[in-house]
Amino acid sequence: MIGKGCVKWQKKGGGVGLIVKNALNWKLKEICVGHEHENEDILVMRCEKVQANECIILVVCYMTTMGPLSQEENVKKYPILEKVVQEFSRFPVIVMGDMNGHVVILGEKVNENGDKLISVKEMSLII
């Protein structure tokens, strides 16, 4: 189990995590992206299959729900996602987590997080 985040002085939860089954025999390495205070809700892992020369990049992300401070927080996160996609374009990049974005899939109206998510998806990654 790998995790990060949750500002210590806040009483509410926070952060992101990833659980990987040991039997899969993956070598995991966290990739540092930005300053800790900017990316506590983004975990980027390089996953290499031992003895198979395979590698994927896993991104676990939480975008703040819409509200007064959400834009200020989220505007720092999307450039980090875009940087990861660009830097690791030679590998499959999988982004997962809670993006709090509405993208019309269920007939709902697109929200601001949804617009940003669509723009990142257009960079050819798997979401």
pLDDT > 70 fraction of the chain, expressed in percent and rounded: 77
Q: What is the pLDDT of residue 44?
A: 92
Of the two residues 6 and 50, the one the predictor is more confident about is 50
Q: What is the pLDDT of residue 11?
A: 47
pLDDT tens-digit series, residues 27-61 = 889 888 866 555 678 899 999 987 778 899 999 98
In this prediction, residues 74-82 reach a mean pLDDT of 83
Task: Tell me the pTM.
Answer: 0.75
From first CA to last CA, the distance across the chain in angstroms is 21
Count the Cβ atoms, other than its own, within 10 Å of residue 27.
11
Sign of CA dihedral 48, 37, 112, 110: positive
Q: What is the pLDDT of residue 10?
A: 54
